[in-house]
Structure 1
Amino acid sequence: MSPSRLRRTVPSIAVVSLTLAAALTAPVRAHVQYVTPGGDAVDAIGFLLATLAEPLNAALLGGGVAAGTVGLLAYLRIRPARHDVLRLRELLAGYRDLLPWLLRLSVGLPLVGAGFAGYLFTPLFTPSPATFVRLVGITIGFLLLFGFGTRLVAATGLVVYGWALTQSPDLLLAFEYVPGFLAIALVGGGRPSADQVIARMAADERTLYSRIDPFYRRVAVPFVERVDSYREYVPLVLRAGMGLAFVYLGIVQKLVNPGDSLAVVAKYDLTAVVPVDPALWVVGAGVVEAAVGVALLAGLFVRLFSGVAFLLLTTTLFGLPDDPVVAHISMFGLVSALLVTGAGPVSFDAWVAREVPDAVPDPLEESAGAAD
C-alpha cells in the first residue's frame, strides 16, 4: 500500500478499531480489579443521571468542561506565549533521534517485569505453563532493551499479544502494547542498539564482518527501504492506540462500571483528597480520561493532552500503594513518546498547521535509514 493510499485509509481503520474495541469490552474486568475485587453492580445510566441531577455535581462537571473548551478556543484565537510554545516544541523534537530507544524501553521494561512476575502483558492474564510465560516475556523484553533483531522481535511480540487476546479479553487492559509494537517495527532499533552496531559493521566494506554477514544487504537494507516511507505515521499509530486505551479506561472502566470504581474511591478514601461526592469522582475521572483519549485520536493539542495523560497516570497509579505500577510503564513511555513526536499526519494539529504557518507540528524525523 502506498503512503498516499494509507493516508486515505487510516481514518477508516481507526474508526473500525474503536468500534471493535467497544464491542469487545463488555465482558472485560475493569482496571480496578488490580487493587480491589470490585464493587456492587450499579446501573450505569441511572448512576450517571443521578450524579448529574445533583446541582453541585452538575455545576462542577459542566463548569470544568466549559472552562476547558473555552480555554482551548481562546488559545487558538489569541495564542499567547507563542515563542515559548515554539521553543518548547523545538526542544522536545530534539529528542527524536532517541525515539526508538524510548519506545524499546517503554515496551521492553514492563515485559521483563511481567516475565519475572509470571504474567503476560497484564497481571490479570497468567496462562500455563508458568515457565513458558516467563521465558516469552523476559526474552522479548530483553531483546527489545538490547535492540537486537528489533523489528522481528516487535512483530513477534505483536503476534503473541494477538494470541493472548484470543485467550482472554483482559488483554484489552494492555492495549497500549499494540501501538508500541507497531511503532517499534516501523522505527527499528535506532541508537543506541545492537542493531545499529551490527549494521554499521556490515556496511563498512573494510571489516571482515561485512564479508560474512548474510543478512544486511540481502534482507535488512531492502526491508528498511520498503518501510521507510511509512515512518511518518509513527505519531499517528501511537496516538490512535493510546487514544483507544484512554477512551476504554474512561468509558468502560469508569462510566460503564461505576460500582467497581466507587469501590476504589472508598478503599483509598479519595474524597479526603478532594472533598466531593464519590459519584463525581467516578464520573469526573471517566470524562477526563475519555476526553484525553478523544483528543489523542483526533490529534488535538497532542503534546498538551499527552502531558495531561502523564499527569493522570502519575496521580492515579502511583497514588495507589498496592497497584502493580510496573504493568503501566508502557503507558508512561508511550505518552512520553507523543511529547516528542507531536500529532503527526491526519490530525487536527496538522490541519491547524496549514492555517497558521508557525503552528506547524514537528514531523517525525526519518533518521534511521539503512543503519537501523
Structure 2
Amino acid sequence: MIRRTLRWVASAVALSIAAAGPAAAHVDYVTDETAPGTVGELFAAVFSSPVALALLGGGGVAVAAVTLGYLRFSGSLLDIEVARRTLASYRPYLPWMLRLSIGLPLVGAGFAGYLFSPSVPVNARLLQVGIGFVLLFGLATRIAALVGLVTYAWALAGQFPELLLAGEYVAGFLAIFLIGPGQPSADMMLRRMVATEGTILSRFQGLPKPEDVLSALGLTPAAAPVALRVFLGANFIYLGVVQKWFQPEQAAAVVAKYDLTAVVPVSPELWVFGAGLTEAAVGVLLLTGTLTRGAAAAAFVILTTTLFGLPDDPVLAHVTLFGLSSALMVTGASGFSVDEAVVPALRNRLGVGGDVTERPST
C-alpha cells in the first residue's frame, strides 16, 4: 500500500529534477547580482586552500564524533528519551500544524503579489488566498490541498522553473492530502454532524469516507512523513547545490553584502561552499531518513540563522519550511528510512542497551 505512494512520490521527484533549469534562488530575495561563476572555480578555490581543507576536515571529524556519541549514548540519556516521547505525543496536532504551515504562507503570498515564491511575482491573490483560507478553516481540506498541488505543478511545468525554490509546498500539500484535516477543523465538525443520528446531515452516513477511498488506493497517512522527508530533503539539496554551488558568484554577493566573513572569518568561497554543503547534507539526511529529528532540528536552526542574519530575506517565504521541519520533529522518519532499517542495528553494534525508563515527575 505505502509502496504505491512511494513510487508515485519518487516519480514526482524525478520529474521535478528533470524540469530543473537555471532557476533563481533564495539569494534573489536579497541581491540583484548576476555575475557569472562556475562550480569548477568554486571547488578549485576551496580545495586548493590548505586552510579550507583543514577546516572542512575538522568539521567533518567533529560531526562524525557527535553522531557516534549520539548513537552510543542517546539510548541511556533520560532527557533525550523524554524529548523523543514528548515530540511523538504531538502527533494528534500534526494535521493542524501542516494546515497552518501551508495556509498562512499562501494567504500572505496572495496579498504580497507573488506565486508561491517571491522569485515569481505573479498576482494570483484570489486563488492563493482562497486555498489558504480553506486550509486554515479545514474545509474540504483534501480537495484544497489537491488544487494547490495541481496549481503548483501547472505553474512549474509551464513557465516558472523558479518555483523549484518553493518545492516544500509539494511536501505540505501531499502530507495534508494523505493525513486529512484532523482537528480542529470544519471537516471534522461536519463529519460529526453526519455521524450523529437525527441531524440533517445524517442522511449522508452511507457515503464512503475519503480516507477509505485513499486507503483502497494504497494512500495512507503512514506515507505522509515519507512524503515530507522526500520533498523537503530534495528542496534542501536543490538550495544547497543549485543555489550555492552552481551560482557561486551570486551567493558570494550575499556574503559580501552582509559582511558575513566578519562573522566567521573564512574566505567567501569557503562560506559559499560550506553553506551549500550544510544545506545539501541536511537534505540528504532528510531524504534518506537518517537521524531525521536531528536533521529537522538542524534545518530549523539554519532557517532561524538565515532569518536573523539576512534582514532583507522575507520571513513569509520561510514559514512553510519552518512548519514542515517542525512536523518532521514530531513524526520522525517513519518507514522506508535509515532510522528504521539501519540505526537500531548500528546502535546495538556500538553497545547501546535498552531504552531508559521514564521516571514519574514530582
**2:220 corresponds to 1:220:** no
2:121 is matched with which residue?
Answer: 126
2:145 is matched with which residue?
Answer: 154
Greater CA deviation, 259-268 or 217-226?
217-226
Q: Identity of paired residues, percent?
A: 50
Residues 102-135 of structure 1: CA distance to partner in whole angstroms, max 9, x if unpaired?
00000000000000011110112233xx3xx100
Asked whether the 8 Å contact 1:116–1:134 carries over to 2, the reply is yes
Residues 223-243 of structure 1: CA distance to partner in whole angstroms, max 9, x if unpaired?
365468621111111011110
How many angstroms does 1:220 deviate by?
3.0
Unpaired runs of at least 5, structure 2:
356-362
1:69 is matched with which residue?
Answer: 64
Asked whether the 8 Å contact 1:151–1:189 carries over to 2, the reply is yes
Counterparts in 2 of 1:241 and 1:230: CA distance versus 1, 3 Å: same
**2:20 corresponds to 1:28:** no
What TM-score, normalized to structure 2? 0.90
Asked whether the 8 Å contact 2:52–2:270 carries over to 1, the reply is yes
Asked whether the 8 Å contact 2:29–2:118 carries over to 1, the reply is yes
Asked whether the 8 Å contact 2:4–2:218 carries over to 1, the reply is no
SS at structure 1 position matched to 2:317: helix
Distance 1:81 1:257 in 2: 44
SS at structure 1 position matched to 2:192: helix
Distance 1:194 1:358 in 2: 43
Letter in 1 for 2:331: T
1:135 is matched with which residue?
Answer: 126
Distance 2:29 2:302 in 1: 17
Distance 2:91 2:108 in 1: 26
Letter in 1 for 2:142: R
Residues 206-232 of structure 1: CA distance to partner in whole angstroms, max 9, x if unpaired?
323323xx4x64143543654686211
Distance 1:155 1:23 in 2: 22
What TM-score, normalized to structure 1? 0.87
Equivalent of 1:262 in 252, 255, 258? 252
Residues 226-265 of structure 1: CA distance to partner in whole angstroms, max 9, x if unpaired?
4686211111110111100000011110011100000000
1:206 is matched with which residue?
Answer: 198
Asked whether the 8 Å contact 1:143–1:149 carries over to 2, the reply is yes
The count of corresponding residues between Structure 1 and Structure 2 is 347
Letter in 2 for 1:233: A
1:188 is matched with which residue?
Answer: 180
Letter in 2 for 1:198: L
How many angstroms does 1:39 deviate by?
4.0
Asked whether the 8 Å contact 1:187–1:231 carries over to 2, the reply is yes
Asked whether the 8 Å contact 1:201–1:207 carries over to 2, the reply is yes
Unpaired runs of at least 5, structure 1:
360-372
Asked whether the 8 Å contact 1:306–1:335 carries over to 2, the reply is yes
Asked whether the 8 Å contact 1:165–1:172 carries over to 2, the reply is yes
**2:263 corresponds to 1:273:** yes
SS at structure 2 position matched to 1:316: helix
Counterparts in 2 of 1:223 and 1:324: CA distance versus 1, 3 Å: same
Equivalent of 1:347 in 333, 337, 356? 337
Residues 151-205 of structure 1: CA distance to partner in whole angstroms, max 9, x if unpaired?
0110011010111102210110100000100000011110110001110111011
Letter in 2 for 1:323: D
1:110 is matched with which residue?
Answer: 105
Letter in 1 for 2:266: V
Distance 1:227 1:108 in 2: 26
**2:313 corresponds to 1:323:** yes
Letter in 2 for 1:142: F
